[in-house]
Amino acid sequence: MDIMRTQHTPAPLVARGLTKSFGQVRALAGVDLQIPAGQSVAIMGPSGSGKSTLLHCLAGILVPDAGEVRLGDLVVSGLRDAQRSRVRRERLGFVFQDGQLLPELPARENVALPLLLRGVPRGEALRSADTWLERLGLGAGSGLAGRRPGEMSGGQAQRVAIARAMVHDPAVVFADEPTGALDQATGHEVLQILTTTTAMAGATLVVVTHDAQVARWCSRLVELRDAMVHADQLLAADELAGELR
Ligand SMILES: Nc1ncnc2c1ncn2[C@@H]1O[C@H](COP(=O)(O)OP(=O)(O)OP(=O)(O)O)[C@@H](O)[C@H]1O
């Protein structure tokens, strides 16, 4: 792959004492996590253990009841809504279970969207989108760049979603069950592409998954149980990521 070194400022992602409740349900009960820039972290745990809530707090989608989230020097959890939206738009990338691509737009316009939202001129944004589609095996020769999400397989749509998450050179990519809607083989392929792509771009990756094999491609595994960190271990893939950094 010809992915260039990143232009973004590498920044560690740090959570301290995060708590979050929904009514009587305590979804996070004091979570501390320090993620160095460029690390790929898999978050696993039983259903209801707080994985998505943690990801949403780390990504500034949810504000914790107590505790804080920092990206480098920036206290993301302390920002107003509009500023948090801007941080998400400019410094973070997202891949969700169903990709959340806009159904009416062809792949290349979906990928260009984060740049268009930042005011990048349309021609330039589409050229960057083409570059990323090419990197993810969906270039001009594939005939897929002009197709809408409904005209692609689930695996192809997730590759488009990865291209869209990467196109604006984010510091951190968040993926919530990115393979949940895929068969196992396609899911593994997508996880491999996601981890390789973010590692080569120097971006941090936080991925929530139920796939136990994710450990093959991530450098760290954090297990939640009952709204708390139950286990936290570095994995062999960390050595590979270190070499790429
Ligand atoms: N918006 C919400 N309103 C009410 N309760 C919520 C909300 N979001 C999450 N919860 C509850 O908080 C707890 C943690 O939910 P969360 O989605 O973070 O778990 P999870 O580990 O991601 O689960 P799953 O693997 O099933 O997706 C659960 O008991 C859930 O029902």
Q: What confidence tens digit (pLDDT) does each residue in 60-119 have?
A: 999 999 999 999 999 999 999 999 999 999 999 999 987 689 999 999 999 999 999 989
Neighbours of 89 (CB within 10 A): 13
Residues of the chain with pLDDT under 70: 1-7, 99, 237-245
Q: Give the per-residue pLDDT at 9.
A: 75
Q: Which atom of ligand 1 is nearest to the CA of 224?
A: 21
Ligand 1 within 6 A of 20 CB? no
Domain formed by 13-244, architecture: 3-Layer(aba) Sandwich (3.40)
Q: Which atom of ligand 1 is nearest to the CA of 210?
A: 25
Residue 69's closest CA among 48, 97, 92, 99? 92
How far lies 237's CA from each of 153, 195, 242, in Å? Answer: 29, 10, 9
Q: Give the per-residue pLDDT at 6.
A: 46
Measure 146 CA to ligand 1 centroid, in angstroms.
36
Q: Which atom of ligand 1 is nearest to the CA of 28?
A: 14
**pTM for this one?**
0.93
Question: From start to end of the chain, where are the E strands?
Answer: 13-22, 25-35, 40-44, 66-71, 74-75, 92-96, 172-176, 204-208, 220-225, 228-234
d(CA 35, CA 132): 26
Q: Give the per-residue pLDDT at 125.
A: 97
Every domain of the chain and the residues it spans? 13-244
Contact predicate 105/146, CB 8 Å = no
Contact predicate 129/113, CB 8 Å = no
Measure 21 CA to ligand 1 centroid, in angstroms.
10
Contact predicate 135/2, CB 8 Å = yes
What phi and psi values does residue 97 have, to the nearest 5 degrees?
-55, -45
ipTM: 0.98
Measure 52 CA to ligand 1 centroid, in angstroms.
7
Measure 39 CA to ligand 1 centroid, in angstroms.
25
Helices then strands, counting H and E runs in the chain, come out as: 7, 10
